[in-house]
């Protein structure tokens, strides 16, 4: 799992968001969210459009999940 996927996964778990609800509101398929964010047996990174849809729904800047050591 890449850094951004792992970080947004932790954020969603910490805040207690429901993946089914997020799926309905973002249009991102539930299984894509589950496999990327919750399924420890599957190492699936979020696709860019999925990641951005999540950030928009969560009303959070995508750069919040960008590793600080990579900022120019």
This prediction's pTM: 0.85
| Mean pLDDT, residues 37-46 taken together | 90
Domain assignment of residue 24, yes or no:
yes
CATH number, domain of 11, equals 1.10.260
Pick from 49, 59, 48, 17: nearest CA to 34:
17
- How many structural domains compose the chain? 1
Domain assignment of residue 34, yes or no:
yes
Pick from 53, 63, 16: nearest CA to 33:
53
Per-residue confidence (pLDDT) for residue 65, from 0 to 100: 85
Instruction: Please say if the pLDDT value at position 70 is more than 80.
Output: no
More confident residue, 67 or 15: 15
Per-residue confidence (pLDDT) for residue 40, from 0 to 100: 85
Domain assignment of residue 50, yes or no:
yes
Domain assignment of residue 16, yes or no:
yes
Per-residue confidence (pLDDT) for residue 71, from 0 to 100: 53
Q: What's the CA angle centered on 56, arms 52 and 54, to 5 degrees?
A: 55
Domain assignment of residue 15, yes or no:
yes
Under DSSP, the state recorded for 7 is: H
Domain assignment of residue 72, yes or no:
no
More confident residue, 9 or 3: 9
Could you tell me the residue range of the domain that residue 40 belongs to? 3-66
């Amino acid at each position: 799992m890449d850094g951004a996927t792992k970080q947004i996964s932790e954020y969603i778990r910490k805040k207690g968001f429901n993946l089914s609800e997020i799926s309905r509101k973002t249009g991102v398929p539930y299984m894509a969210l589950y496999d990327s964010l919750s399924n420890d047996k599957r190492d699936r990174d979020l696709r860019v459009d999925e990641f951005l849809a999540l950030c928009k729904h969560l009303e959070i800047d995508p750069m919040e999940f960008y590793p600080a050591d990579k900022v120019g």
